[in-house]
Amino acid sequence: MCGRFTLTVSHLAEVAEAVGAWLSPDLAAEYRPRFNVAPTQRHPIVRADAGRRELVPAHWGLVPAFAKDRSIGHRLINARGESVAEKPAFRAAYRSRRCVVPADGFYEWTGPKGARQPVWFHAPDRSLLWLAGLFAMWTDRATGEVLTTFTIVTTAANEVVAKVHARMPAVLGTVDVSEWLEAADPKALLVPAPVARLVASPASCRLNSPREDDADLLAPDDPRARGQRALF
C-alpha cells in the first residue's frame, strides 16, 4: 500500500519538462512543494490526450464513473497491479485511462503499534519518480460537477522496501512512461523497482497528521524529545 507521498520540486515546470507534458499557467502558479500528500487531496497527474501529454490536477482516490457517490475514493487510493486489468473498479481505467503520478518519494511505517516510525523511500539523488497510476472522471448527478480522480498502482516490494512493507508503488523508468500511457497492455511494467533505485530514510512522526506539510517532515524527530530509536 502507498498511503502518503512527496513531490518537493520547486516548480511544476520541472515535471512537465522531464516528460514533455503541457502545463497550464494556472496549475503552474497554484503548485507548491508537497511533503505529505494524503488521500483525497489534489495532486497533478500526467495523462495522454489526443497524443499530447498534459499535467492536470486530480484528487487522490479513484471514483469510478459508475459510483453513486465520491466516498468510494477513500478506499481506492491503490490498485493491485496483479489484478488491475480484471477488477471492476479499475479495469476500464486500465484499458484507456492510465496516468503517471509524479513524485520524489513515498512513505511507509514500521515498528510496534503505538510507536510507528515513518520511513521515506526515495531515489539516492532525490530525483523524480514516476508512479504508475489510473484516473477516472466522475460526475456528481446532483450538482453536475465533474471530478478527476486517480489511484496509484502497487506491486510487490523490492528488497529495500520489503524490510518495512510487503507492497510498494510501481515505479516506472522515464523510458517506460510512453509505454504505460499508450500501450494496449503494459502490465509487464508493474514489477518491483530495481534495488538501486531507492533508499530509505527515517522521517518525522508528524506525518501522521495530513495537516502537517513542511520540509522538516523529511528528517526524523529528535529522539531526545520523542523517545524514538534511529532506524538507520
Catalytic positions, written as ranges: 2, 108
Considering only CA atoms, which of 72, 63, 68, 73 is closest in space to residue 93? 63
Cell of 99: 496516468
